[in-house]
Structure 1
Amino acid sequence: MGLSSTGIGSGLQVEDIVSKLVALERQPIAKLQSVALSMQTKLSIFSQVKSMMSTLSDAAAKLSKNSTWGGMVATSSNSAAVSVSVIGAASATSFGIGVQQLARAQSAASASLGAPGASVGGGSLSIQLGTWTGTDTASPQFTEGAAGAVPVQIDAGDSLATIASKINGAKAGVTATVLRDANGERLLVRSDSTGASSGFRIRVTEDGAAPGLSNLAFDPQGAPGAGMAANAIQYAQNAQATVNGIAVESATNTFTDTIPGLSFTASQITTAPVEVAVGSDTETLKKNIQDFVNAYNGLNDLLGASTKYDSASKTAGALQGDGTTVALQNTLRSMIASTAEGTGAFQRLADIGIDIKTGGKLEVSADKLDAALKNPEALKALFATNVGSGSQANGLAVKMKALADQMLLPEGLLDNKASALGASIKRNKSDQDRVDERASIMEKRLRAQYTALDAKMASLSGLGAYVGQQVSQWNRTNN
């Protein structure tokens, strides 16, 4: 507001009068703002209720699924030697695994072939994958694999590094590497995969004008003791193990098809069987149940704090007396306290160590729950029985999820409540704007009126002064 001289002409405390009258006109805004703050608090609480209801729905959904209760876990008495995991539908069982041999790839190395960059010779290589047998004899035999031999053309001036690059580029199932030592360079060739069928044979056709490429041949059957076959050889082999004394093999150290639903990986050769046990995944079940309890307690605490009356401070919760909140609170507590229908070993939460405390909060007895987890089928019946939509015979998790999902529907109870509060807040803001507008109009009108009054009073004051002067002059003349 700019500077104003209103009141100078009349001598009245116009600013004080106008301010107090406008403040009186604005007085309803304070009450409207208080109501708006209360509605914003309620809207915030309902947003929290919706979020916690969603968390409860997720927790209940886990406990309502059959797959949750069918979860199995496998343990190994020596995981450094044999690790095991569940990969499908597995049954509770136990067995011993012995590891006699680990899977490996084939590798071979050439003799030193001269200084770096030196030419090796020209011609072509033929790389064939397959299986070597009789490797512990003087006459190993090679059986070609299903894939055909891969040719690799070598130019007379190619260095060993160039040859390695050409072999790798041919994608023949092997990887070539150049090794430099004190004697020069040599070629290392290793199959890309483990397992007996990943062995390789390398045949060489030399360029007569640039001999020497035969140093890279590997064919212990056709040319024993020649080329790379003259050096130390590591033949490819399968992993070999026994399960309860029955021999099994795998091209890798991981056995995935040996026992349905299970995979085990051999890492060390064993001298005694490693004991493997498969049973119900009670730790995950326990966590899922605790998550459900935590989600329920969080929502119960929020509803309780929002509807209670604190006699000490004489203050009421933001939602005390709200029918929607009270009904939801009672429904949840009634559902938690309900008794399961049927003849299962567990009929109520208290049977598995989950007690209802003052205020509706749940408390878990770890020992009693651990004992109940030894009977997963009965636990499943308490939580996950599903005989049809809306049936009172459904398990607790099934019923709780149905309730939560109904609350969370678009245009459902919670959404409608939030929408109604939002609309009320909007109307409240409009009411505040109208009061403010009326006060502004009133202030403008008052200032106009007092400005006119000032002008009139100033005019009358001037006339009075003139008359006074004339009277004084007349008196002096008569004297």
Structure 2
Amino acid sequence: MAISFTGLGSGLAVSDIVDALVNSEQAPAESRLNTKEGKLTTDISAVGALKAALEKVQTSMEALGDSDNYQKRTASGNDDFISISSDKDAQPGSYNVKVDALAQAHKLSSPAFAADEAIGAGVITIGSGANSFSTVLSATNTLEDLRDQINNGPFTGSDSNDSVVATIVTSDTGQHLVLTSKETGEDNAITITVQDDDGNNTDTGGLSRLAYDVSDADPVNHTTNLTQVNAAQNAQITIDGTLTVSSNTNKFTNVIDGVDITAKKLHATDDDLSDISVTENNNNIQTGLNSFITSYNELLE
């Protein structure tokens, strides 16, 4: 729109007229821009919704194409004595299980010592499983000093204690050093050898009072100056009355194809055996089809 004025001294409110004219031109333009912005927002939302729907269809199709989803097995048999888990490798079948023994950590107890008694000088080496470490004792060290060195060091060289916990139990006769393996099973039995400053590493005097080693095949060579409180013991189960299986822990991994068994409690003579049943699980097929149908219908809406 063209605008012209014949003079500025006419008494007209020029500023007001200009503002009105500008607003009359601006309002339609703003309206058109707002309309375009609203349409663009709607289009973007529609594209986002379409993308989300397509992704759901793609996900459901991938699930339908995954053969693992159609090879699921369900294993049942959890009770007071065992717990079980299974994967797709489990084959349909039934089994009975008897828990013969539970895994146990090795525990040893020393003879009694007075609280302030020097236990002897030398080097003591303790082993359990694959771990072995040594620590040095002086002529003034007590049982409490040895406990602290076993748990926290210092150790010789680059040794570290990853396998044994030391505690002191005080009885009516004095203090006893109690060593317990951190891991269960026969492979984690504790051995204790000493290099006693008195020159005798296996007698019942000085540091050798703490020697315990039954690793030799010949019992004549065993040193048992500590008392065995709990033997290092494997867990053991019997499957179908004839197949015996042992483990360092109470878990038996893949002992039946695709089935893990954890022993929890011993079966007494008059207890019913635990029954395991592995069956096909086709629920995933129906679930996958339903998911695909739902996502496909949402895409068409």
Equivalence for 2:37: 36
Q: Distance in 2 between matches of 1:252 and 1:262?
A: 16
Aligned positions, number: 275
For 1:200, give the aligned amino acid: I
- Tell me whether 1:175 sits opposite 2:164 in the alignment: yes
1:214 alignment partner, one of 208, 212, 217: 208
Give the secondary structure class of the aligned counterpart of 2:180. Answer: strand
Equivalence for 1:309: none
For 1:20, give the aligned amino acid: A
- Tell me whether 1:237 sits opposite 2:236 in the alignment: no
Pair 1:261–1:94, CA change in 2 (3 A) = same
Mapped contact 1:88–1:260 kept (Cα < 8 A): no
Shift of the alpha carbon at 1:284? Answer: 4.6
Mapped contact 1:128–1:149 kept (Cα < 8 A): yes
Between the aligned residues of both structures, percent identity stands at: 27
- Tell me whether 1:82 sits opposite 2:43 in the alignment: no
Pair 1:165–1:159, CA change in 2 (3 A) = same
Give the secondary structure class of the aligned counterpart of 2:89. Answer: coil
Equivalence for 2:119: 120
Unaligned stretches of 5+ residues in structure 1: 1-6, 131-146, 305-479
Q: Distance in 1 between matches of 2:162 and 2:36?
A: 77
Pair 1:205–1:88, CA change in 2 (3 A) = farther
For 1:177, give the aligned amino acid: A
Mapped contact 1:97–1:273 kept (Cα < 8 A): yes
Pair 1:149–1:62, CA change in 2 (3 A) = closer
Pair 1:77–1:127, CA change in 2 (3 A) = closer
Deviation per residue, 1:261-308 (Å, 9 max, x gap): 2211111112222111222344555544444344334434xxx3xxxx
Give the secondary structure class of the aligned counterpart of 2:47. Answer: helix
1:256 alignment partner, one of 250, 253, 256: 253
Deviation per residue, 1:13-37 (Å, 9 max, x gap): 4345323322332223312321221
Equivalence for 1:162: 145
- Tell me whether 1:193 sits opposite 2:187 in the alignment: no
- Point out which structure has higher relative CO (alpha carbons under 8 A, 6+ apart): 2
For 1:119, give the aligned amino acid: A
TM-score normalised to the size of structure 1?
Answer: 0.51
Equivalence for 2:226: 228
Pair 1:224–1:31, CA change in 2 (3 A) = closer
1:268 alignment partner, one of 255, 262, 265: 265
Mapped contact 2:82–2:265 kept (Cα < 8 A): yes
Unaligned stretches of 5+ residues in structure 2: 1-6
Q: Distance in 2 between matches of 1:37 and 1:120?
A: 89
Equivalence for 2:22: 22
Q: Distance in 2 between matches of 1:290 and 1:99?
A: 42
Shift of the alpha carbon at 1:186? Answer: 1.9
Mapped contact 2:104–2:184 kept (Cα < 8 A): yes
Q: Distance in 2 between matches of 1:66 and 1:49?
A: 28
For 2:233, give the aligned amino acid: Q
Give the secondary structure class of the aligned counterpart of 1:258. Answer: strand
Q: Which has the higher helix share?
A: 1
Equivalence for 2:4: none
Equivalence for 1:153: 136
Shift of the alpha carbon at 1:185? Answer: 2.9
Pair 1:91–1:148, CA change in 2 (3 A) = closer
Q: CA RMSD in A?
A: 3.2
Pair 1:257–1:32, CA change in 2 (3 A) = closer
Mapped contact 2:101–2:234 kept (Cα < 8 A): yes
Q: How is 1:461-476 mapped onto 2 (pairs within 5 angstroms)? A: none
